[in-house]
A and B are shown apart, each in its own frame.
Chain A
Amino acid sequence: MINLTTPLTEDQILNLKAGDLVTITGVIYTARDAAHKRLVELIDQGKDLPVDLKGQIIYYAGPTPTKPGEVIGSIGPTTSGRMDTYAPILMEKCGLKGMVGKGQRNQEVINSVKENKCVYMAATGGAGALLRKYIKSCEIVAYEDLGCEAIRKLTVERLPALVINDAKGNDYYRKQN
């Protein structure tokens, strides 16, 4: 088991290979389709983003509403493939270093992960009740109007994931099947 801390450094990333079990500790950000669309529109217009993604990890997830007195609702990964259109530009232009979601990425993303020395990891799909236990704080930092799709800043402690695409261009899913 490899313990990653955010923001990710190049040393941490180059040490990872597809199939490694990791845990993540530190700050990560949630974003789904709607938030990605807005971020990429801002990049296209040459404007600043509401969050600095340099060295950061985006968790593709939209939680259930937080009950009073709790940190967050259930929060498992959503299908990463829907963000394939947006991911390369965030890696190339904003310094995004990691992504956590579920399912396979397209070749363009796999190439971009390699070229920009990034990492794509998968968390267990459908385990939202379990995964919420690794989240220690949650704060909405952008696009509150998007509800569950707003960008949330999460502090996580030892969030478990599996490396799918490493910085050498390997793909754990393709290796399996």
Chain B
Amino acid sequence: MRHIDRQKIVDTVAKLCVDAALYLPEDVFISLKTAKETEASPIAKEILSQLIENAQIAKGEETPICQDTGLCIVFAEIGREIHFNYDIYDAINEGIGKGYCEGYLRKSMVRHPLDRVNTQNNTPGVIHIKLTEGDKLTLTVAPKGGGSENMSVAKVFPPAVGEEGVIDFIKETVRKAQGNPCPPVVLGVGIGGNLEYDSYLSKKALTREVGVFSKNPIDRALEEKIIKAVNETGVGPSGFGGDTTCLFAFVESYPCHIASLPVALSINCHAARHKSATL
């Protein structure tokens, strides 16, 4: 049995929250630069330049990439040889509160969807725990902005819809969203499982590295087709038109019921923020 000090978890989560808000992942930064080179539309090129400059300013001045520092999603992979003599959910939430308050990040959480009173420290987060082998704890913090989340959709289709129907659903969702989710977007797609599991997969997908396709050949083919189809919409950066609507699409799949083809699309803005640490 291995014991991990509670304060270590609090401090690690706090640091991950701040780092995720300030530093655009390098893979996303590179994809923005590549897109700027290939983009044909002058206004789209200008917006991509602004987003590149934005990331540089955020890093240099230690100010958040975006004012919406998000709802904090935390993925915790816990080795089964670790023993906690405290509430791990509570420790993670304390870390979120510390990170958002001490790091000057925006507090965007309300205590109830209907009475809408701000909790003042951006807690609680949405915490996903997975048990793994060994004695390591991996924490991934992935803040998710509201503008892009509001454009995200989950739907359970009949199997006859097939690959073409899935691609069409994703393409039309991004087209209708226009400038709202701050394109160029990064797409997380969960297919299979059921309504809640494909939604989880779509978020987990967003923690992968931009530019690296799935190892599953079916998922990889779908990723390539989605990227092509979404970029054909012409929505473009900020919705101002252009070739660059989507920087990348990640697909995660899971077996499903004979009657269903569940699909969840989590749209992320260009700032596909996530940071991990292993304890």
Interface positions of A (Cβ within 8 A of B): 34, 61-67, 73-76, 78-79, 81, 102-104, 122, 124-130, 132-133, 146-148, 162, 172-173, 176-177
Interface range, B side: 35 or more
Q: What residue in chain B is nearest A147 (Cβ atoms)?
A: B118
B64 and A176 contact, CB distance less than 8 A: no
Cα–Cα, bound, A65→B150 (Å): 23
Residues of B within 8 A of A65 (CB): 104-106
Q: Is B233 close to A, CB under 8 A? A: yes
A177 and B54 contact, CB distance less than 8 A: no
A79 and B63 contact, CB distance less than 8 A: no
Tally the A-B contacts, defined by beta carbons under 8 Å. 138
Contact of A74 among B47, B66, B238 (CB under 8 A): B66
A129 and B61 contact, CB distance less than 8 A: yes
Q: Is B57 close to A, CB under 8 A? A: yes
Contact of A79 among B53, B147, B241 (CB under 8 A): B147
A126 and B270 contact, CB distance less than 8 A: yes
Residues of B within 8 A of A128 (CB): 54, 63-68
Cα–Cα, bound, A130→B118 (Å): 27
Interface flags, B85-128, vs A, CB<8A=1, else 0: 00000000000000000001111100000001010100000000
For A81, A102, A125, A128, the residue with the greatest tally of chain B CB atoms inside 10 Å of its CB is A125
B54 and A126 contact, CB distance less than 8 A: yes
A173 and B106 contact, CB distance less than 8 A: no
B69 and A64 contact, CB distance less than 8 A: yes
B179 and A62 contact, CB distance less than 8 A: no
A64 and B235 contact, CB distance less than 8 A: no
Residues of A within 8 A of B200 (CB): none
Q: Is B50 close to A, CB under 8 A? A: yes
B239 and A104 contact, CB distance less than 8 A: yes
